[in-house]
Amino acid sequence: MTGEEPLKIGIAGLGTVGSATLGYLMHENARIAARAGRALKVDAIVARDRTKDRGVDTAGLRWFDDPVALAKDDGIDIFLELIGGADGVAKAAVEAALTAGKPVVTANKALLAHHGAALSKLAEETPGASLHYEAAVAGGIPAVKALREGLAGNGVTRVSGILNGTCNYILTEMEETGAAFADVLLDAQKLGYAETDPTADVGGFDAAHKLAIMAAIAFGRQIDFAGVEIEGIENVSSEDIVAAGDMGYRIRLLGMAERTAEGVSQRLRPCLTPIDSPLGAIEGVTNAVMLEGDAIGTTVLTGPGAGGGPTASAVLADIVDVARGNTPPTFGIACNDLAPARSGLSIRDEGAFYLRVALEDRPGTLAEVAAALGEEGVSIHRMRQHEHTGNAAPVTIVTHTCDLAAIEKAKTRIAALPASVAPPVAMRIVES
């Protein structure tokens, strides 16, 4: 280790991730510093409650009440933003640290998804500043480093993955227990896997933030969260889970970003994928990232996507990079050379689709559905009417390859049929 002065660290936010990071830096300092090639010292912290027991002795640290004041403080060399939130004090503190010429390490995916373009420009144009965010994507999985550095020689064609452990836990439990979405969500909240307000997770927004970040790196473009098409898992029913299983599939919330002839497509939605495929095999709270490039082919990274330890691991990796002087451009290419975001592009999305409809149990209703699909150019590969009680007959359909736009129009036609008793549900079938 060199004789340089210790790298003095300021931590804003001592929640689950901040406390875990502080604990590792205090208890495993010698090991981490040896890998960094430089002494490391936590110097100052910000937290709302100074009296809370976090399992770490904070008596010798400088306390701040204002994250922005800590970010500007001349006594720290690197600023860790572990507060969260796309705006407010987290954004102000990161901007203050970068403006002061400090390296910033953050786990804040929402901040990057919404303000990554401006923050990367500030980081790259301010001497001494840099922006590091391995912890913002897939927790302990080194997805950012793999894309930005490990696969730098590849022409990446597609990035996909299971990017939210809460959703994957819910879908796995629905498979294993047969319980309804609402019941499993309640259990997930009791176990601490889902927030009291679960919208960010089950609505797909958390995973979409991560997808937008990965797409920016993979395709050398400005981050474009507005261009992500988002659909959550709220409409996935136990009937869908059973029907998918009968056909050899599992339903997973998949993020997919790929290069097409029209541009870069970014979609986050529940899909059917084979049970034995790399993504279909992922269960519980585990995350997975699949990277496809012209030189490497396909590689899959799996691991814990959240939690104090895994996310702190990614934060520590960024601290080591800063200590080593490894500060690549934020999104892999200098921000002024990134291709512009192109939200609003109409990009074709072709494939086979699973479709569930609920119809009155009377003669002729299946013919009406087939006619509605045919009018939009959607061809039926197979159709099955399931056993039922009452007058509502559930029907599942698998289509031949068609365009998502045609499926959406067909859903509107089917919903308007007198025999339709519930809105149709459609999901893309992804074979790999």
**DSSP code of 200?**
H
Instruction: Indicate the residue type of 376.
Output: E
Give DSSP secondary structure letters for 106-162.
E--HHHHHHHHHHHHHHHHHSTT-EEE-GGGSSTTS-HHHIIIIITTTS-EEEEEEE
Cα 358 from Cα 424, distance rounded (Å): 7
Q: Is 210 designated active site?
A: yes
Residue with tokens 């993504």: 279
CA-based nearest residue to 112, from 141, 140, 134: 134
Helix%, strand%, coil% for the chain, nearest 5: 40, 25, 35
Cα 396 from Cα 412, distance rounded (Å): 16
**Residues 6 or more apart whose Cβ sits within 8 Å of residue 410:** 355, 372, 373, 375, 376, 378
Instruction: Indicate the residue type of 1.
Output: M
Cα 253 from Cα 270, distance rounded (Å): 4
The residue from 102, 121, 145, 210 that is catalytic is: 210
Largest distance between two CA atoms of the chain: 85
The answer to whether 189 and 196 have CB atoms below 8 angstroms apart is: yes
Cα 253 from chain centroid (whole Å): 10
Instruction: Indicate the residue type of 284.
Output: G
Strands 380-385 and 392-399: antiparallel
Give DSSP secondary structure letters for 230-260.
E--STT--HHHHHHHHHTTEEEEEEEEEEE-
> Which of the residues are catalytic?
210
